[in-house]
Each structure stands twice: as structure tokens, then as C-alpha cells.
Amino acid sequence: MSTRIEAQPEAIAMPLQKDRQVSPLRMKITLLIAGFGPLLAIGLFLQSKGFFG
């Protein structure tokens, strides 16, 4: 019980830790989703308004 309470602040802390890096593949996938998500949303919005046709 006490170990769970002690380990909690590490999970809440910002992920700026040097010892635990995110894998490059996961970073690329995250950046792709973050990059193409808004573009896809804008494209679908414009298509629904008849912008491309």
C-alpha cells in the first residue's frame, strides 16, 4: 500500500526523463498521427462543404 503511494509522483511527473526514452518507432508514429490528424480533419470538413467538387 505504501509503495503504491510512493510510486505515484513518478507517474504524474512530466516525461522529461533521460533514462527512460521513448522508442524511435513510437515517436515517429505519434508524430505522424499528430501531423496528419488535423490535415485529415480539415480535408473531411472541406469535402463535406463541397470544396473539392
**In this structure, what DSSP letter does residue 15 have?**
S
Range of the domain at 49: 22-53
Which residues in 1-53 belong to E strands, given as ranges? none
pLDDT of residue 52: 84
* Closest alpha carbon to 15 in 32, 29, 27: 27
pTM of the complete model beyond 0.75? no
**Structural domain count of the chain:** 1
pLDDT of residue 25: 95
pLDDT of residue 41: 95
**pLDDT tens sequence across 1-53:** 555 445 555 555 565 656 678 899 999 999 999 999 999 999 999 999 999 88
Q: How many CA atoms lie within 13 A of 16 on its CB side?
A: 2
Whole-angstrom Cα distance, residue 34 to residue 36? 6
- Tell me whether residue 35 is in a domain: yes
How far CA 39 is from CA of 4, 5, 14, 30, 51, in Å, comes to: 41, 42, 28, 15, 15
- Tell me whether residue 3 is in a domain: no
- Tell me whether residue 53 is in a domain: yes
